[in-house]
Amino acid sequence: MPRDIVTGASAGLGPARARLDRLWARGCAFLGTRVAIMGGAMSWVSERHLVSAISNAGGFGVIACGSMGPDLLAAEIAATQALTQLPFGVNLITMHPQLDDLVRVCIEAHVGHVVLAGGIPPGTAVRAVKDGGAKLIAFTPALVLAKRLVRSGADALVIEGSEAGGHIGPVSLTVLAQEILPHVKDVPIFVAGGLGRGEAILSYLEMGASGAQLGTRFAAAAESIAHASFKQAFVRANARDALPSIQLDERFPVIPVRGLANAGTKRFLEHQAQTLARFQSGELTKDAAQLDIEHFWAGALRRAVIDGDIEQGSMMAGQSVGLVTSVQPAADIIAELTDQAVAAIAAREPWLG
């Protein structure tokens, strides 16, 4: 049976738990949750079942809109609301051609938090979110952009290190936290990338973070609709198995994506080499070659997550995959993370136990 986060092992360590609650109080207040743990928005994974499970366990689930259109998103929000009465958010990609319509769907459905990811949020979307009464969460890869986003209206920020799964930036969370947390105090900041234990979350809370976002551990949760083969691949994997995609030629940029190395990643290298040869021979224009490379992974994430094709599909995973040791209910994951943080406080300051 899943544990309730209030009656888990940390319940017997009242003062230490109270210290943790004080550390992430700002994040909890912002999210409207009992613990300041967000679920990362993962395409094909972060849908109604996982999102509601995270929220019902005291965390904050986030729907990954991805390439959904307005009607599909509206249906997904309604289905999630039927499974939880607790707060959850929606992650929208800033490059989506129907971004304004997607924001409208969120506002009309009374979604309290909208996450704008994948680029600098356009002013029209920012204003629509704010005017609609929702809170805006944005991602920042650097201090200068963090300050700019706060000025433009972001109510909270996520700093995600290169240890994360999926599309990644070049800088680790360890460095981003040192660069940003001491200097941005106006809004809550949530840390992400490579997080898999409560002690790590605690360390960033003590540096000034308001909470944490985790994706990889929740991708393998019992409530995740990911294929059993996908989840078992996570259980078997080590941190060193989650590698960023490799770019063969700087003329044909490849957006870095971290995932488990498999036959598909090897084929991608071969495909780049073959496409480069076709370009150099004059068979393909530069634009056609770039498009050919970009289309290689089309549909590959769905093949892995939904169909269970763990050899040819895209196995997006963060380096924290090495900390996934079993398929657990979301409530147990959250309770475990909380217990670890509380135990760390009690061990360091035994008078709190």
Whether residues 169 and 273 fall in one domain: no
Cα radius of gyration rounded to whole Å, the chain = 20
* The two three-digit tokens of residue 79, written as one number: 């289905």
The domain of 62 spans: 9-227+324-352
Whether residues 250 and 336 fall in one domain: no
Whether residues 131 and 110 fall in one domain: yes
Closest alpha carbon to 257 in 272, 249, 247? 247
pLDDT tens digit sequence for 88-99? 999 999 999 999
Strand (E) positions, 107-260? 113-117, 135-139, 156-160, 166-167, 189-192, 211-214, 242-244, 257-260
Residue 1 lies in a domain: no
pLDDT tens digit sequence for 105-158? 999 999 999 999 999 999 999 999 999 999 999 999 999 999 999 999 999 999
Backbone angles phi and psi of 155, in degrees to 5: -90, -15
The CA-based diameter of the chain, rounded to the nearest angstrom, is: 73
133 class by beta-carbon count within 10 Å (0-12 exposed, 13-18 middle, 19+ buried)? exposed
Whether residues 124 and 260 fall in one domain: no
pLDDT tens digit sequence for 264-316? 999 999 999 999 999 999 999 999 999 999 989 989 999 999 999 999 999 99
Residue 2 lies in a domain: no
Whether residues 191 and 332 fall in one domain: yes
Residue 3 lies in a domain: no
Residue 13 confidence (pLDDT) above 90: no
Whether residues 173 and 147 fall in one domain: yes
Whether residues 56 and 132 fall in one domain: yes
Q: Across the strands, what pairs with 62?
A: 89
Could you tell me the pLDDT band of residue 348, with boundaries at 50, 70 and 90?
confident
Tally of domains within the chain: 2
Whether residues 138 and 248 fall in one domain: no
What CATH code is carried by the domain that includes residue 107?
3.20.20.70
Residue 70 confidence (pLDDT) above 90: yes
Residue 40 lies in a domain: yes
In angstroms, the Cα distances linking 80 to 11, 41, 48, 98 are 29, 14, 5, 21
Is the separation of the CB atoms in 343 and 14 below 8 Å? no
Residue 44 lies in a domain: yes
Query: What is the bridge-based pairing of β-strands 166-167 and 257-260?
Result: antiparallel
Closest alpha carbon to 300 in 168, 166, 170? 166
Residue 106 lies in a domain: yes
Question: Whole-angstrom Cα distance, residue 145 to residue 270?
Answer: 36
Residue 80 lies in a domain: yes
The whole-number pLDDT of residue 349 equals 76
Whether residues 182 and 311 fall in one domain: no
Whether residues 194 and 151 fall in one domain: yes
Residue 58 lies in a domain: yes
